[in-house]
Amino acid sequence: MNSQIIDTIKQYETIVIHRHVRPDPDAYGSQLGLKYLLQHNYPEKRILAAGEHDYTLDFMDFPDVVGDSDFEGALVIVTDTANTERVDDQRYASGAKIIKIDHHPNDDAYGDILLVDTNASSASELVYELFTYGRDHENWTMPDSAARLLYAGIIGDTGRFLFPSTTQKTFAVAGELIKFNFDRNELHNGMYEMDRNLLHLQGYIYQNFVMDESGAAYVKITLDVLKEFGVTATETSLLVGSLGNVKGLKAWVIFIEEETEIRVRLRSKGPIINGLAKEFGGGGHPMASGATAYSWEEADRVIERLIEICAS
């Protein structure tokens, strides 16, 4: 498959790379890491990264401004995105051909060429594997900028190598990436340092989460709470794993209220929870998923189902 992807890349003058909405480090890492990798090895090509920028990822990089005409006759590559509804910038479908590179369950098998491996820790790890094939067969080399972004993507999606998705291969890939010239401390600080108001909200989560005897837990963060602590819904992404150290906890959900919907962020230490996310229009990994609720009554139904899953 890597050979087919590289052969396809060589055929196009313009390549537009997409990722999912509400990006995380792996979305940026795989998308922008691939962009710099291809720019470095095919300087004659026009490589663009599409999608709305998330200011919480300023420390990583920035996407490009992509016009409608850029998609004419272009190859489109979508990384780290399980289904078409979550592709950031729906113009992706107006390209000439689509390649999907992803590590989520392939429930929506969109695209003309699919590289999907659910055993990979991250989409960034898959981009690194593409690089190794290009290195061995096409004399590809990797710039430091790409290595930095791919490393950040792997760190982000493995929770600093703590999540079960981390494999021996993941450690080997990270070991190769840190040989490149970038400041790991600066990158880690960008990923994990928090402003005081966000830390205060984390304290609110610790004080207000509810856990039942099944090992299911939840906390509701309303618009009023966000306003009280001066935190945006987007910034709360750094707090999703906060309850992971609670003894006896099996799985948890954090609800973040926005103006028109409620973000549902699910995490687990064992029970499979991506099926629950799908019940509420979302999806994701077996241990880390997300969905959307449109009322607190619907959010309560998520809690009921999470308790049932943990109890069983």
Distance of CA 307 to the CA centre of its chain: 26
Residue-wise pLDDT tens digits, 74-122: 999 999 999 999 999 999 999 999 999 999 989 899 999 999 999 999 9
Q: Is the pLDDT of residue 286 over 90?
A: no
Q: How far apart are CA 228 and CA 76, in angstroms?
A: 42
For the ranges 33-47, 59-73, 144-158, 235-249, the lowest mean pLDDT is seen at 235-249
Q: What is the pLDDT of residue 107?
A: 87
Residue-wise pLDDT tens digits, 205-219: 999 999 999 999 999
8 A C-beta contact, residue 92 and residue 76:
yes
User: Average of pLDDT values for 114-131?
Assistant: 97
Q: What is the pLDDT of residue 164?
A: 85
User: Average of pLDDT values for 120-147?
Assistant: 98
Tell me how far apart the terminal alpha carbons of the chain are, to the nearest angstrom. 39
Burial of residue 261 (CB within 10 Å: 0-12, 13-18, 19+) is middle
Residue-wise pLDDT tens digits, 220-271: 999 999 999 999 998 998 899 999 999 999 999 999 999 999 999 999 999 9
Which position has the token pair 């959010």? 299
Q: What is the pLDDT of residue 283?
A: 84
Q: Is the pLDDT of residue 19 over 90?
A: yes
Q: Is the pLDDT of residue 70 over 90?
A: yes
Which position has the token pair 């099926």? 275
Burial of residue 101 (CB within 10 Å: 0-12, 13-18, 19+) is buried
Residue-wise pLDDT tens digits, 24-53: 999 999 999 999 999 999 999 999 999 999
Name the β-bridge partners of 268.
251
Q: Is the pLDDT of residue 59 over 90?
A: yes
Mean pLDDT for the chain overall? 96
Distance (Å) of CA 116 to CA 97, 103, 106, 292: 17, 5, 7, 25
Of 115, 120, 174, 185, the C-alpha closest to 147 is 174
Burial of residue 191 (CB within 10 Å: 0-12, 13-18, 19+) is middle
Please give the helix or strand (H or E) that residue 263 lies within, else none.
Answer: strand 262-268
Q: How far apart are CA 156 and CA 33, in angstroms?
A: 14
Distance (Å) of CA 53 to CA 63, 126, 187, 264, 299: 6, 23, 18, 21, 28
8 A C-beta contact, residue 307 and residue 212:
yes
User: Average of pLDDT values for 267-279?
Assistant: 94
For the chain, what percent of residues have pLDDT higher than 90? 91
Q: What is the pLDDT of residue 131?
A: 98
Q: How far apart are CA 24 and CA 237, in angstroms?
A: 8
